[in-house]
A and B are shown apart, each in its own frame.
Chain A
Amino acid sequence: MAQEAQADLKQSVLQALSTVTDPELDEPITELGFVKNLSVSEDGRVSVDLVTSTFWCSPNFVYMMLEEARDVVSKLPGVKEMRLTLGGHHDSDRINEAINAGKSFSQCYDFEARGELVELNRMIRTRALRSRLYSMASALLRSGLAPHDLPELARQDVTADGDTFVVHSRGRVLPITDPSDVKRIARYLTFLEGLGQTKGRLVIWDLDGNPPSEDEFISALTVGRLAKANFSLNAELCRALLASRLDREQP
């Protein structure tokens, strides 16, 4: 592989990894600093070293995250082989062996697990959806919409305009230009795209695309607000823990 192609592949691997989130924190593993090392060989063998914020992170969520990383990178054109190495985790050896052999979670933890991670994944992603919904809603309310306008909006009523968004509601056209608010809306829309929910209502409340019932929209937002507080607290704590960890001399 030419040097340029090798550099391009490395870039696409990094791009692919940036779509993988820590499910418990709802933030990309690349931004959290979990990707410690990435190398791409001339013949397309990719090797990624990962670290989590603590020695004790839950094996089930760690596995979910590694499976996703393995899958998004493996399917990139030009990748011949993909090897993940998780370091400094209480189950590192076991997890690395299983992930690289393509095993599922229940194969990795035969008698300690009773099944796969589908249900757990739905639980945590539903919360991520609600957290992102609250953040988007707070941005829309700041732009001048009233709470009762929100359930009325269709996905197509929010359109990108360069680095900003424009919202069409009841004949009004409202711009959203504050970079933090733009990011809040983009994060929610990305989540909808991931679900394949690119048409229909903007405000959905579960992974199947169902809206919250209309009379419960406000209380739904307080639930979303709590989910958002939880994700952001955990993410902030994990960032701080990882910084401490990488800075520590091993005794």
Chain B
Amino acid sequence: MDYHFHIWNAAKENWLRPDLAKGWINCFYDYTKALSPKEYVWDWDTYAYYGEEKALHDVFGEGHVDMAIFEPQTLMYFYHKGFSNVDAISGYVKKWPDRLVMGSRWDPRDGEAGKKLLEEQVKKFRIRPFQMRNVKLYTAEWKEENGGISRGWRLDSKEAFDFLEKNRELGINVQVAHKGPTVWPLDKDAFDIGDVDTAATSFPDMKFVVTHIGLPRLDDFCWVATQDKNIYAGMAVAMAFVHTRPRYFAEMMANLLYWLGPDRILFSADYALWHPKWVIEDFLNFELPEDLKKEFGVDLTMEIKKKILGENAAKVWGIDIEQQKKAQKNDELSKKLHLQPGTIRVGEAAKKGKPLAR
């Protein structure tokens, strides 16, 4: 189960402010190139806009993912129609509600109109109990305001708390917080997650997933998550270290397991930043080095990997895994993509043969 996947459109026709729009997608492209195996790096045009069909094929067809949770990132200041918004997947969610999970977003600066939109989305998309339970909260979103520009917001403002109240009322109980480089005021640390801490303490019935485990403030994240048990480690971006930077990945995992334990870590390949096929296969084959096991007193067993790859997210979203397996068996998507239940080879078996697709 992948808690954080995108379908974006950064093709040139969609650039509203070309410098910023280009700067955004180029930065994403660099992330992909920096950490992917070479054979998984696409050409720039495909990367800027790959389309829904390719996404479904990559994630579900090749990528070992059974359920993917959509996290929009609108960036209306950069792109005419937004970078990644719910329109991209709304049709698909209705078609395959047992595979794709709809999530939305909110921004305290949107006021009443933003709350009304959430109400409508819940009515339209709560077609399974786990649909429309999450929102992506990108605090560095730029927005035109009173003729000027506002380059970010905080989760502990009164306006944000109003939205959290609204979410509670609508049963949108998973807040996926994502920090970026700008936030008001600019002399403070934009990556500080003190505001997530405040919100998580004030809304103990809700769950807060801090995406890319608070990087570049993994230390802040771990301290806060140690205190607030409703804060989860979202592994988007962080997972990708597993292939080319295994030692760094190992130190990160050892710290997460030491500070948070195994029950609050959620897998994501962050498609299309990285392809879930190699991320999942590498993660399954990854083992913590002995020196770190000894120093930290933790291990990353197959049981724990299973939790990270799906069981933990299933609990957060209220998804019954056995029931979903039944619902997915021979569903339309399985037929369309010729999906066969199977296993992913790990350990010695993986070295001997090519891992099975499913």
Interchain residue pairs A-B with the least CB separation, the first 5: A240-B34, A55-B23, A244-B30, A244-B33, A114-B185
Given known A-B contacts A227-B219, A240-B34, A251-B44, A59 and B29 have beta carbons under 8 A apart: no
Quick check: A56 and B181 within 8 Å, CB to CB? yes
Chain B residues 165 to 216 lying within 8 A of chain A, measured CB to CB, are 180-182, 184-191, 215-216
Quick check: A59 and B259 within 8 Å, CB to CB? no
Quick check: is A96 within 8 A (CB to CB) of the other chain? no
Distance (Å) between the CB of A116 and the closest chain B CB?
7
Q: Total A-B residue pairs with C-beta atoms closer than 8 Å? A: 120
Quick check: is A160 within 8 A (CB to CB) of the other chain? no
Residues of A within 8 A of B (CB): 24, 54-60, 90, 105-106, 109, 112-117, 119-120, 123-124, 127, 222-223, 225-227, 229-230, 232-234, 236-237, 240-241, 243-245, 247-251
Which of B154-162, B244-252, B269-277, B305-313 sits within the interface? Answer: B244-252
Contact residue among A112, A233, A250 (Cβ-Cβ distance under 8 Å from B215) = A233
Taking CB atoms, residues of chain A closer than 8 Å to B258 are 222
Tell me the complex Cα distance, A243–B35, Å.
Answer: 11
Tell me the complex Cα distance, A222–B180, Å.
Answer: 27
Taking CB atoms, residues of chain B closer than 8 Å to A113 are 185-187
Contact residue among A90, A225, A234, A240 (Cβ-Cβ distance under 8 Å from B255) = A225
Tell me the complex Cα distance, A124–B151, Å.
Answer: 22
Tell me the complex Cα distance, A42–B26, Å.
Answer: 38
Quick check: is B27 within 8 A (CB to CB) of the other chain? yes
Q: A55-B24, A58-B191, A248-B29 are in contact. List 19 more A-B contacts (CB 8 A).
A: A24-B216, A55-B23, A55-B26, A57-B181, A58-B189, A59-B182, A60-B186, A90-B20, A105-B187, A114-B187, A120-B187, A223-B219, A226-B218, A230-B215, A230-B216, A233-B216, A240-B244, A245-B26, A248-B30
Quick check: A237 and B34 within 8 Å, CB to CB? yes
Tell me the complex Cα distance, A58–B190, Å.
Answer: 8
Taking CB atoms, residues of chain B closer than 8 Å to A123 are 189
Tell me the complex Cα distance, A251–B15, Å.
Answer: 13
Tell me the complex Cα distance, A56–B31, Å.
Answer: 12
Taking CB atoms, residues of chain B closer than 8 Å to A234 are 215-216
Tell me the complex Cα distance, A240–B241, Å.
Answer: 11
Distance (Å) between the CB of B46 and the closest chain A CB?
12
Q: What are 7 A-B contacts with C-beta separation under 8 Å?
A: A60-B186, A60-B188, A109-B186, A113-B185, A115-B185, A222-B258, A230-B215
Taking CB atoms, residues of chain B closer than 8 Å to A57 are 181
The residue of chain B having its C-beta at the shortest distance from the C-beta of A131 within the complex is B219
Quick check: B23 and A117 within 8 Å, CB to CB? no
Contact residue among B33, B248, B252, B255 (Cβ-Cβ distance under 8 Å from A248) = B33
The residue of chain B having its C-beta at the shortest distance from the C-beta of A228 within the complex is B251
Quick check: A233 and B248 within 8 Å, CB to CB? yes
Tell me the complex Cα distance, A230–B26, Å.
Answer: 24
Taking CB atoms, residues of chain A closer than 8 Å to B255 are 225-226, 229
